[in-house]
Amino acid sequence: MNILLLGSGGREHAFAWKLAQSRICTQLFIAPGNSGTATCGTNVSLDPLDFPAVAAFVRTAEIGMVVVGPEEPLVRGIWDFFQADPELAQIPFIGPSQAGAVLEGSKAWAKAFMQRHKIPTAAYRKFDGTQLAEAKAYLATHALPIVLKADGLAAGKGVIICESHAQAQTELEEMLGGKFGTAGATVVVEQFLSGIEFSVFALTDGKNYKILPEAKDYKRIGEGDTGLNTGGMGAVSPVPFATESVWEKVESRIIKPSIKGLRKEKIPYCGFVFFGLIMVDEDPYVIEYNCRMGDPETEVVLPRLKNDLGALLLSCARGQLARTRIRTDKRAATTIFLVSGGYPGDYAKGKLISGLDKVKGSLVFHAGAKNDDQGQTLTSGGRVLAVTSFGKTFPDALKRSRNNAKKIQYEGKYFRKDIGKDLERYL
Ligand code: AMP
Ligand code: GLY
C-alpha cells in the first residue's frame, strides 16, 4: 500500500527510513519531509496543518495508511477531520483523536486525567487570568523551586522552573498576560520533582498496547546538562537504570492505567503515547504526556525495533495489536545531534553540509536540512542532523556517533560530547 507520513524532522526521517523497509509499503510519501526523507520516498510539498490539502492528496495518491509524526496536526484535530468523511474514515490512521491529543495539548487536562486515574505525578494547581490574586497568594507560600507550565502547546518553551518567589510571580503574570499567547491563558503550578528522567513509549489501538524500547534524551544545549533547553541534543536506548523492577512499576502504575483511562473515558486513541517520566528515588512519576513519538528518541528507538513498522502500524490501526509481539535489537543505540551555532538562540541557515559520504557505520537522520536546486544539502534549522549508531554497550555506540559526527562539516557546527556520561555509573 501507499503510505503518507506527515512531518519534516529527524523523527520523521527515522520513521521514513523504517517504513521504506516495510514489506507492505509500495510507495512512501512524506509531507513536507526534508533532505533525509527524500532518500526514503517522495517528498510532497504539503502543510500538515492544511487538512483539506492533506485529504485531497490522500485521495489522489491512493494512500492506504496515514502516519502523523508531530503533535500539532493531532492537537488541531486531523484525525477528527478524516473521521468526518465516510471514505477517509476507512483509511488506517496512526495518531489519536483531538480528544486524545489533549493529553499533550493541555497540561491542566493531563494533570486532571492523571488524578482521575491515580497515576503518579507532581502535585499541582491551575489558575487562569481571573485568578491572578489567588495564584500570587498561592505562589507566596509554595516551596522552591516552583514549576510553572503554560497549559497549551508552547513549542517546548512553556515550562519555567523558578528559583525564587519573585521570579515565579513575574513569570506567572507574564504567562497569564499572554507571553505564550493562548497557550498560557491557563497556568499549571507544580511541585518540583527531583530525579533522573527518561522516556517511555506505548503504541495503542485504543484497547491493547505494546511497549517500545525506552530512551533517555538530553535537552540542554551545554555539556553537563547546562544552559538553555533545546529540542534534544542526543539520546540513548536502552536506559541502564530502567531495570525489571522499574519497568514493573512503570507498566502497572502508569502505562496500564493511562491506556485504560483513555478507553474508560471513551477517547479514541490509535497511535503513540509518550510518557515523560522521572524517577523519584525508586518510584516513577509522569512529568508529561505527548501524543506522538519523541524526538530525538525516535532516532534510537526505531533502529532498535526489529518489527516491520508498516505491518505493526497497520495491525494497530486495525485494532489487532494484541496479535503482535515487539522484537527489539539487544544492542544499544545512541544518537548525537549536530546543531547550528547559536541554537537555541538565533542561528544562520543555508550552510553547506559536507562529509556525509565519509560517515561509516552510523545512520544519519536529517532534521533541519534540505536540498537546494543543485542537489546540495544545506542547513535549514537549529537541529540539523542526528548521528545514530549501534554498539555492544552505549559508550561503544556513542564513540561511533562522535567519530562520525566529526566527519560532517558545516559552518557553525556544534554537538555535545558528553551525551550518556551521566549513565556510565549504571554500567
Ligand atoms: P515538559 O515541557 O513538560 O517536558 O517539561 C520540560 C522539562 O521541565 C522536563 O523535561 C523536566 O526536566 C522539567 N520539569 C517539568 N516538570 C517538572 C517537575 N514537576 N519537576 C521537575 N522538573 C520538571
Ligand atoms: N524529546 C522530547 C520530546 O520529543 O518532546
Residue 16 — pLDDT band, cuts 50, 70, 90? Answer: very high
Q: What is the pLDDT of residue 181?
A: 83
248 domain-assigned = no
Instruction: Note whether residue 52 is domain-resident.
Output: yes
| Residue identifier of the C-alpha nearest atom 3 of ligand 2 | 294
CB 308 within 8 A of CB 19: no
pLDDT, mean over the chain:
96
**Domain CATH number, residue 34:** 3.40.50.20
Q: Can you give the pLDDT at residue 314?
A: 98
- Ligand that lies nearest to the alpha carbon of residue 103, given by its number in the listed order: 1
CATH code of residue 152: 3.30.1490.20
Is residue 130 located within the same domain as residue 92? no
How many C-beta atoms lie closer than 10 Å to residue 20's C-beta? 19
Task: Say yes or no: CB of residue 197 within 6 Å of ligand 1.
Answer: yes
Tell how far the Cα of 89 is from the centroid of ligand 2, in angstroms.
29
Let me know whether 185 and 128 are in one domain. Answer: yes
C-alpha cell, 396: 561503544
Q: Which of 191, 226, 248 is the last residue of a domain?
A: 191
Domain tally, the chain: 2
Q: How far apart are CA 164 and CA 269, in angstroms?
A: 40
Q: Return the SS3 of 146.
A: strand
Q: 156: pLDDT confidence band, cut at 50, 70 and 90?
A: confident
Decide whether any atom of ligand 1 lies within 6 Å of the 104 Cβ: no
143-172 average pLDDT score: 91
Q: pLDDT tens for residues 162-177?
A: 999 999 999 998 888 8
328 — phi, psi (to 5°)?
-120, 140
List, for residues 381-420, the tens digit of each pLDDT value. 999 999 999 999 999 999 999 999 999 999 999 999 999 9
In a domain, 11, yes or no: yes
- Determine the Cα–Cα distance for residues 291 and 75; give it in Å rounded to an integer: 8
Q: Which domain holds residue 151?
A: 123-191
Q: Which amino acid is at 261?
A: G
Indicate which atom in ligand 1 lies nearest the CA of residue 156: 2
Q: For residue 107, give the ligand nearest its CA.
A: 1
CA of 275 to the centre of ligand 2 (A): 10
pLDDT at 112 over 80: yes
Residue 158 lies in a domain: yes
Which pTM does this prediction carry? Answer: 0.97
Q: Is residue 72 in a domain?
A: yes
Instruction: For residue 349, tell me if it sits in a domain.
Output: no
Residue 410 is predicted with a pLDDT of 98
- Residue 149 domain-assigned (yes or no): yes
In the structure, what pLDDT confidence band is assigned to residue 75 with cuts at 50, 70 and 90? Answer: very high
Q: Which long-range contacts (CB under 8 A, 24 or more apart) does 256-260 make?
A: 257/117, 257/118, 257/119, 258/117, 258/119, 258/202, 258/289, 259/202, 259/204, 259/209, 260/117
Domain boundary, last residue among 52, 81, 97? 97
pLDDT for 262-278, tens place per residue?
A: 999 999 999 999 999 99
Q: What's the pLDDT score for residue 337?
A: 98
User: Does 355 fall in a domain?
Assistant: no
